[in-house]
Structure 1
Amino acid sequence: MERTPSTVPRADYDAVCAERDQLLTLLHALPDISFVLDEHGLYVQVIGGANEALYVRGQSLIGHTLHDALPEPLADQCLKLVRTAIESGELQTIEYCLRAADVSLLPEDARRGEDAFAEQWFEGRILSLRSYEHSARVALWVAVNITPRKQLEHYWQEVAHTDSLTGVSNRQRLFERAHTEVERAHRHRHPLSLLELDFDHFKRLNDRHGHAAGDEALRRITQACREILRDSDLMARIGGEEFAILLPETDAHGAVDLATRILNTVREVRLPDFAPEVRPTVSIGCATLRDDDSFDQLMRRADEALYKAKANGRDQACPYP
């Protein structure tokens, strides 16, 4: 039997219990999964989760704690929210990423299945659950799978930061990433370099063979460059036929070595469907971050080096002196 707190009128207590029972009944009928968690992080009850496309059955969690089931940083964060909800009586919310493989108490087939390592995003809504029959105070945690929404957000973010013709980053993403990398390089005293590339005689190609040939040349050249870049490097289109490549953890020698590889790679690009006789080349300016540099200063020096490469005859790389 549930005990009526002596300070709470019986009618009010009965109303709270009725409200709680209605809520739990409703949650059983919903596709989303919910948990009753006590103030020590114990899973008291697992409710719902009927949509098996979005949720793994969590009955194996009952009787165990958040720290038994989840990675420690997430378990700490969840327990703090549960206690805050219980103490304040106010709704708490969180968005978190979790893979089935990371939940140690799920059945083995769920933790090793085809989708076990896929990132799943959830919105947690946590509120105090009054008058629940348990030895400690409890909260209700409603977990809503928001992975489709997160995937859509990521898609539109990629669209907003990607050059539609070549598929590389655009100027906005370059500047956002660059300021972060400059700050990190200064803080840890790590090297950072920048290449600026310009397609040689691009206007001549467009005038003689049409814009379709020019577009194809840009696509092929950027694809060839991306194949020799590291995952940490960032290539961005910053003008019509001008590109920049941000090179974290790369000193001046490394930047020049990569620029030489790019020159050789671009020389192998061909345009068989538009201009078979064309042999594209690029000019490259190289600059490396100095102790007191901003990204604007780094980019200005790379730009000066690029103009030197073009003035010296093109199809070459020039480091900033």
Structure 2
Amino acid sequence: MEHDPSPVSRAAYDAVCAERDQLLTLLRALPDISFVLDEHGVYVNVIGGTNEAMYVSGQNLLGHALHDALPTPLADECLHLVRTAIESGELQTIEYCLRAADVPVLPEEARTGTRAAADQWFEGRVLPLPAYDHTNRVALWVAVNITPRKQLEHYWQEVAHTDPLTGLANRQRLFERAHQEVERAHRHQHPLALLQIDFDHFKRLNDVYGHAAGDEALRRITQSCAGILRDADLMARTGGEEFAILLPETDSDGALDLSRRLLETVREVRLPDFAPEVRLTISIGCATLRTKESFDRLMRRADEALYEAKASGRDRVCANQGSQEP
């Protein structure tokens, strides 16, 4: 029920109502979907959403509360924003991920299928809606589907962290992940190992058979190595023919065992289109994280072990156990 303004405020009230009506009319014409939510989180009105490729009809939300429709953590956050917008009179914004499959008040056909299971990203813009014909105070929630933008951001993030030749993580991604894993290993006192890997006689291969052969060798070697790693492991290209493998939850014995399997795997790699007679090998330096040790120090010890492996004949693994001091 609308308020009964005094004659003194009638002009201002009429202006607010006119502005509100214009806004609602505009929203009905837009492809984005909007909701009128009261201060208790109940859906009072659903407006727009004419772009069926981007939005599922929200008419089934009417009369339901946020906590009926959304996962509890998201519903809590949304209700807080609605109340903040109403109390402060200021615009509130949020980005959130939601799948139609996770909205139980939608019709079953809207909650099943590939589209319903896909992550959809929205930008919510929440502002108070004065003079709305309702017993409780309300806010307008404009939900803009930003999934294409998020997908593009994810693509460029992947590009920025991926080596274009091998498809592996690059050095930047390795360091970001490594610092996280080192912190986690120290906090929970879990093992962590690092392998530093160098392609043996890579310059000779390039000089004799050409860079195309070298590139193919790098791709085949990394693919064969990645094939025996766990999902939790991270293999990265750190230089021209240099690679590193980060091994969470892996002690020295486990790292050495994997290193030996990697040596055997690479020995089986062939280049039939470039150099069928060439036998490829790698050298590996292995180090496991010590108490209070930094990733930089761990990497230096793995490098030292790699130099030892190359100096002692290549095609082998050497371990640097180091000391307990960082």
TM over 0.5: yes
Offset of 1:24 from its aligned partner?
0.7
Give the alignment's TM-score, normalised by structure 2.
Answer: 0.96
Q: 1:258 to 1:15 in 2, by over 3 A?
A: same
Offset of 1:60 from its aligned partner?
0.7
Number of the residue aligned with 2:267: 267
Offset of 1:75 from its aligned partner?
0.7
The residue type equivalent to 2:3 in the other structure is: R
Once residues 6 and 219 of structure 2 are traced to their aligned partners in structure 1, the CA distance between those partners, rounded to angstroms, is 76
Number of the residue aligned with 1:191: 191
Offset of 1:8 from its aligned partner?
6.8
- What is the SS of the residue equivalent to 1:116? helix
For residues 66-215 of structure 1, the aligned pairs below 5 Å read 66-215=66-215
The residue type equivalent to 2:97 in the other structure is: C
Where structure 2 has 5 or more consecutive residues not aligned to the other structure, the ranges are 322-326
- What is the SS of the residue equivalent to 2:283? strand
The residue type equivalent to 1:136 in the other structure is: N
Give the alignment's TM-score, normalised by structure 1.
Answer: 0.97
Once residues 83 and 59 of structure 2 are traced to their aligned partners in structure 1, the CA distance between those partners, rounded to angstroms, is 22
Offset of 1:114 from its aligned partner?
2.1
For residues 1-80 of structure 1, the aligned pairs below 5 Å read 2-6=2-6, 9-80=9-80
The residue type equivalent to 2:314 in the other structure is: R
- What is the SS of the residue equivalent to 2:76? helix
- What is the SS of the residue equivalent to 2:231? coil
Offset of 1:77 from its aligned partner?
0.7
Number of the residue aligned with 1:306: 306
Number of the residue aligned with 1:228: 228
Once residues 189 and 195 of structure 1 are traced to their aligned partners in structure 2, the CA distance between those partners, rounded to angstroms, is 20
- What is the SS of the residue equivalent to 2:229? coil
Q: 1:202 to 1:23 in 2, by over 3 A?
A: same
Once residues 41 and 61 of structure 1 are traced to their aligned partners in structure 2, the CA distance between those partners, rounded to angstroms, is 11
Range with greater deviation from structure 2 (287-296 or 308-317): 308-317
Q: 1:5 to 1:320 in 2, by over 3 A?
A: farther
Q: 1:164 to 1:189 in 2, by over 3 A?
A: same
- What is the SS of the residue equivalent to 1:9? helix
Post-superposition CA distance 1:33-56 (Å, at most 9, x none): 111111111111111111111100
Post-superposition CA distance 1:131-163 (Å, at most 9, x none): 111121111000000011111111111111111
Once residues 28 and 168 of structure 1 are traced to their aligned partners in structure 2, the CA distance between those partners, rounded to angstroms, is 47
Range with greater deviation from structure 2 (225-234 or 121-130): 225-234
Q: How many matched pairs?
A: 321
Offset of 1:231 from its aligned partner?
1.8
The answer to whether the 8 A contact 2:30-2:49 is kept is: yes
- What is the SS of the residue equivalent to 1:115? helix
Once residues 184 and 23 of structure 1 are traced to their aligned partners in structure 2, the CA distance between those partners, rounded to angstroms, is 50
- What is the SS of the residue equivalent to 2:25? helix
- What is the SS of the residue equivalent to 2:106? coil
Where structure 1 has 5 or more consecutive residues not aligned to the other structure, the ranges are none
Offset of 1:4 from its aligned partner?
2.6
Once residues 303 and 6 of structure 2 are traced to their aligned partners in structure 1, the CA distance between those partners, rounded to angstroms, is 78
Once residues 173 and 55 of structure 1 are traced to their aligned partners in structure 2, the CA distance between those partners, rounded to angstroms, is 35
Give the % identical residues. Answer: 79
The answer to whether the 8 A contact 2:2-2:135 is kept is: no
Q: 1:26 to 1:312 in 2, by over 3 A?
A: same
Once residues 7 and 308 of structure 1 are traced to their aligned partners in structure 2, the CA distance between those partners, rounded to angstroms, is 91
Q: 1:15 to 1:95 in 2, by over 3 A?
A: same
Post-superposition CA distance 1:152-195 (Å, at most 9, x none): 11111111111111111111111111111111111121211111
The residue type equivalent to 1:110 in the other structure is: A
- What is the SS of the residue equivalent to 2:74? helix
The answer to whether the 8 A contact 1:4-1:13 is kept is: no
The residue type equivalent to 1:227 in the other structure is: G
Once residues 37 and 259 of structure 1 are traced to their aligned partners in structure 2, the CA distance between those partners, rounded to angstroms, is 59
Post-superposition CA distance 1:99-143 (Å, at most 9, x none): 111111111111112211111111110000111111211110000
Offset of 1:88 from its aligned partner?
0.5
Once residues 186 and 8 of structure 1 are traced to their aligned partners in structure 2, the CA distance between those partners, rounded to angstroms, is 68
The residue type equivalent to 2:251 in the other structure is: D
The answer to whether the 8 A contact 1:101-1:110 is kept is: yes
